[in-house]
Structure 1
Amino acid sequence: MTAESTVPSPGGQPRAHGFSSVSVIPSRGVAGGFRFPHRRPQPRPASPVPLLAADLAAALLGALALTGSAHHPLLAALLVSASMLLRPRLSRAVPGVLDELPAVCGRIAVSWLTLGALVAAYAPQHALPADTLALGFLLQSAAACAARGAVHWRRRTASLNRPRAALVIGPATTAQRVAAGILRHPRCGVRPVGVVTDEPDGSEGLPVLTTGEEVERALIQNGVRDVLVVHPSARTQQGPLLRALAESGCVVWEVDADSPSYATRDQLAGFACRRLDMGGRRPGSFGKRVLDVLVAGTLLLLVSPLLLVCAVVLRLTDGRGVVFRQERIGKDGRPFTLLKFRTHRPVDEHESATRWSVADERQMSWFCRFLRRTSLDELLQLWNVVWGDMSLVGPRPERPYFVAHFSQTYPGYAARHRMQTGITGLAQIHGLRGDTSIEDRARFDNAYIDNWSLWQDICILARTAAALVRPTGS
């Protein structure tokens, strides 16, 4: 969990740090340093109410097959409840009812078979005959397909009449090719209106936007709601622009322009795509905060005697100044004060801000070395978690001096700040602590953010706890 060492190079080797201090998160790309003047509301996803109503109506129609059966109202209620719980989940790629026909019919079959099994188990004398089950399945399936088909047809018609304007970001040739492919298939509901690139090559097609002012003008005039990133380099080179577009209300998609390599059902005119998180609030973030407060609060109560003992021993063996406070960079580049037990005394404030302390310095007392080896010096960061400065799981926070340098040197490092920093993370459980590659840490941190889930946080916490109690070298 400790991330302090000499400044590592890309391969993990220590390197002198004679660079000068620059801005915390530098701006690069076509809209470097540009901020859109206002935030538009995020486009609302398609309402689930029409499909919910279609499934409910189909379940009620299927329940007509139960007429004449014992406890008919109860059985109908159970059928409707099971049908609502087993509704198929939609993705952006589903254009019509035929695509979801197997899922719809399969879940309806499970509902009827489960209902039949329950009745046979608890009231054998009133078991539902096979013809009743078959009739109910057929009625509900036909009604569900018809109702869902009507909903999909209406949505397709609306998307054809009011396609969503989009900007395509990437190398000019690739971006124009993807835009042309999407324009040839208006049924996808997206209409590219411009190409954003740093180096236009003079190719014909959509207007090429090369400045932040041109992007802003296109954003406002066309009501742009989608951003399509068609090359991996654009994620790092145009990172500030993508975040600014996301903050203005656009949805950012990464499109595979060459091969369907993404393991996703989402497609756009035949191109595999996936939605990128650019730092906005995502489903489950409230659960992450609840997990942080519950776990951190409980741990603080449990380890408070240990914290008191560490503070007393540290005061007796190393003098005054038990708690170490240091400015770190958190989510969205905002600074906060990180708390730790003091294990090393820098010469002055400049050294504290610009030099990574070394874990095995000779002047460190035996107790300080013990705190470092066991990561007990990190326990005070539980207060940072409770206060909301940090999370239990996330990219490790760093000082402004090093954030500025690493953001310029390593692609994707600045993108780590789109999520709350943490005490532990995916990089740490893969051994990326101390004198290890910053490039590898940034890659693991961004992979964690791109694929975040509450379950992943729980797994990382469990693996961190296992690593703490595992004997060294095992």
Structure 2
Amino acid sequence: MLKQRHQLFVALLAAADASVVIAACLGAWALRRVMIEGFWPVSWENWIKEPLILFTLPIVIASLWVSGLYRPMRDRNIVSELSQLARATIAALVALVVVLWVIGNNVIGGTEGYAPARLLGHQMDSGRLQIGTLAILLPTLLGLERACFRLALRSIRRRGWNLRHVAVLGAGRLGQITCRTLERNLWTGIKVSYFISHLDHTKRTQWSGHPIRGGLADLETTLETHRVDSVFIALPNARASVLSNVLERLERFAIDVRIVPDVQLRFTPARMSVNELDGMPILSYRENTQYGLGGISKRALDILGSLVGIVLFSPVMLACAAAVAMTSPGPVIFRQRRVSIGGEKFNIYKFRTMRLVDDEQPLSCPLPGTQPPPPRSITGTPRAGVNSPPADRFRIDGWTDHDDPRITPVGRFLRRTSLDELPQLFNVLFGRMSLVGPRPERPELIARFREDWRGYMLRQHVKAGITGWAQVNGLRGQTSLRKRLQYDLFYIRHWSLWFDLRILLLTAFRGFVHPNAR
């Protein structure tokens, strides 16, 4: 019954998609005719004969089908579907252009007797105008249609229709997490009916608000008596050895089977994915989303942003360099080794903000007439019970206090306004850093932090950045390392090009001047 319902929904969805494609072609054709002829010619006969609709409809539907957009959508959210839809639409438009080019350049172009259309003062061939309009209308209308279809499905499922009943095999912590996750995402239309214990026998009758209908010894009897559409296997690692036997026994039933692995998800940098290589399934536990098309788009943003920044801020950089050179002796640029993606070491370049210390005077010694501040823990707060700094305090902690006596007046202003970071735009341009990413750290500090903080090395899965999610949320200077790490991992897990643009906008409005940037 449910499979018949699914086929009905697929047919309805395909019909809705076809209607949207036809509407987009009609809109593109109408705009072309109006811009070329200057009025609305209601000539349906001519429009039906248009080659564009003849090729667009099958190509788009085929692209959506190949992209898996007619498979059950219960296990993907709206963002994932729209992203998949965008890729399928781009592929369809490319295929359409190739087909039209192979058939002939004038297949949709030549409206004889009329001058070319003008757009923004430039002549525009009518065929290109029609394709360009279609490229805008098609993804927009398809996205709106898919969103409306989801809303309709959600409304139907709230009324108890089109639900998929499942059993969770595993009455433990993982089974409870699985059940709560499914119940939290009601838009999937999946309803947990009962649990099956991961033990052979059990006396428990309830778990996580649902009945337990026996154990593994009663698996076949339970599934025959209490029919479900799918089984979610959520076995704890201690019972992983029985998985092959369970899968073999489930082959006797016409139900879907899904496996929830018992892995720690807290520090995964991105969503896990399952791929297949020559028939071998591969579960990607850590997969960097900044590779492939995502990496290309991020690199393009870095190149464009760094070039624009260098041009716009070149007068400011010259002024900063002059101010540093005139107010304290020493080089204008401060250079230090840091670590970026994959443990790759590089030099950061900043405007020097501190006085130089004689080689014979160790960094741990305060300047004459000053008192050294108390040492800080890696959370940014003083260690309790410590009255004097360690001999190599500055070298071990690695972070400069805002009241460090070596900071010059000009340097304090540069730090407060983050203008000392401007030379790092050249590192971004040359590919050593990114505009957005976790802040780079020194190699010796990374060796220390990775032992103290679980998940810290996941920061090395992406390029270090000038600004980041932690920085625009005020985590700069003497702030908690734990919170910085949490924000960095959130950025890595949820990275997208739009997220980068959002961080850059927040940096422009509130990131340059901040009380902690000193």
Report whether the alignment pairs 1:302 with 2:339.
no
| 3-state SS, counterpart of residue 283 of structure 1 | helix
Match of 1:230 in 2: 262
Going from structure 1 to structure 2, the CA distance change for 1:405 and 1:234 (only over 3 Å counts) comes to farther
| Cα distance between partner residues in 2 of 1:144 and 1:116 | 15
| Cα distance between partner residues in 1 of 2:7 and 2:343 | 45
Verify the 8 A CA contact 2:335 2:348 in the aligned structure 1: yes
1:252 partner amino acid: S
| Cα distance between partner residues in 2 of 1:104 and 1:327 | 57
| Cα distance between partner residues in 1 of 2:308 and 2:58 | 52
The structure 1 segments of at least 4 consecutive aligned residues displaced by more than 6 Å after TM superposition are 140-152, 469-473
Match of 2:248 in 1: none
| Cα distance between partner residues in 2 of 1:146 and 1:288 | 30
2:476 partner amino acid: R
Report whether the alignment pairs 1:252 with 2:306.
no
Aligned residue runs from structure 1 range 379-458, under 5 A: 379-458=422-501
| Cα distance between partner residues in 2 of 1:201 and 1:151 | 38
| Cα distance between partner residues in 2 of 1:144 and 1:111 | 8
Offset of residue 354 of structure 1: 4.5
Match of 1:128 in 2: 44
| 3-state SS, counterpart of residue 429 of structure 2 | helix
**Deviation string, structure 1 residues 102-154 (Cα, Å, up to 9, x no partner):** 4432222123234445549846554438xx89xxx9xx9999989988998xx
Going from structure 1 to structure 2, the CA distance change for 1:98 and 1:413 (only over 3 Å counts) comes to farther
| Cα distance between partner residues in 2 of 1:146 and 1:287 | 27
Aligned residue runs from structure 1 range 126-165, under 5 A: 126-128=42-44
**Deviation string, structure 1 residues 309-340 (Cα, Å, up to 9, x no partner):** 22222122111122111111111122211111
Aligned residue runs from structure 1 range 37-116, under 5 A: 100-116=10-26
Offset of residue 437 of structure 1: 1.8
Match of 1:8 in 2: none
Higher Cα radius of gyration: 2
TM-score (norm 2): 0.48
User: 2:326 pairs with 316, 325, 336, which one?
Assistant: 316
Report whether the alignment pairs 1:339 with 2:333.
no
| Cα distance between partner residues in 2 of 1:468 and 1:452 | 19
Report the aligned-residue RMSD: 5.2
Aligned residues: 307
1:355 partner amino acid: G
Match of 1:212 in 2: none
Unaligned runs of 5+ in 1: 1-94, 157-171, 208-226, 254-275
| 3-state SS, counterpart of residue 347 of structure 2 | strand
Verify the 8 A CA contact 2:472 2:506 in the aligned structure 1: yes
Offset of residue 251 of structure 1: 4.4
Verify the 8 A CA contact 2:338 2:440 in the aligned structure 1: yes
| Cα distance between partner residues in 2 of 1:443 and 1:463 | 19
Verify the 8 A CA contact 1:353 1:399 in the aligned structure 2: no
| Cα distance between partner residues in 2 of 1:109 and 1:358 | 64
| 3-state SS, counterpart of residue 360 of structure 1 | coil
Aligned residue runs from structure 1 range 340-379, under 5 A: 340-344=350-354, 345=356, 347=362, 351-352=394-395, 354-379=397-422
| Cα distance between partner residues in 2 of 1:341 and 1:228 | 51
| Cα distance between partner residues in 1 of 2:60 and 2:430 | 49
| Cα distance between partner residues in 2 of 1:285 and 1:363 | 40
Match of 1:462 in 2: 505
| Cα distance between partner residues in 2 of 1:148 and 1:467 | 42
Going from structure 1 to structure 2, the CA distance change for 1:97 and 1:392 (only over 3 Å counts) comes to farther
Verify the 8 A CA contact 1:329 1:400 in the aligned structure 2: yes
Match of 1:164 in 2: none
| 3-state SS, counterpart of residue 403 of structure 2 | coil
Offset of residue 391 of structure 1: 0.1
What percent of counterpart residues are identical? 30
| Cα distance between partner residues in 2 of 1:147 and 1:377 | 50
1:446 partner amino acid: L
Going from structure 1 to structure 2, the CA distance change for 1:424 and 1:204 (only over 3 Å counts) comes to same
| Cα distance between partner residues in 2 of 1:416 and 1:296 | 22
Offset of residue 234 of structure 1: 5.3
Going from structure 1 to structure 2, the CA distance change for 1:103 and 1:325 (only over 3 Å counts) comes to farther
Q: Which moved more, 1:388-397 or 1:406-415?
A: 406-415
Going from structure 1 to structure 2, the CA distance change for 1:449 and 1:282 (only over 3 Å counts) comes to farther
| Cα distance between partner residues in 2 of 1:358 and 1:112 | 64
Verify the 8 A CA contact 2:416 2:514 in the aligned structure 1: no
TM-score (norm 1): 0.51
Match of 2:242 in 1: 205
| 3-state SS, counterpart of residue 284 of structure 1 | helix
**Deviation string, structure 1 residues 409-442 (Cα, Å, up to 9, x no partner):** 2232211211111000111111111122212211
2:242 partner amino acid: G
| Cα distance between partner residues in 1 of 2:57 and 2:19 | 9
Offset of residue 385 of structure 1: 0.8
Offset of residue 393 of structure 1: 0.3
**Deviation string, structure 1 residues 142-171 (Cα, Å, up to 9, x no partner):** 99989988998xx99xxxxxxxxxxxxxxx
Offset of residue 203 of structure 1: 6.5
Match of 1:290 in 2: 300
Going from structure 1 to structure 2, the CA distance change for 1:307 and 1:440 (only over 3 Å counts) comes to same
Match of 1:62 in 2: none
Offset of residue 305 of structure 1: 2.8
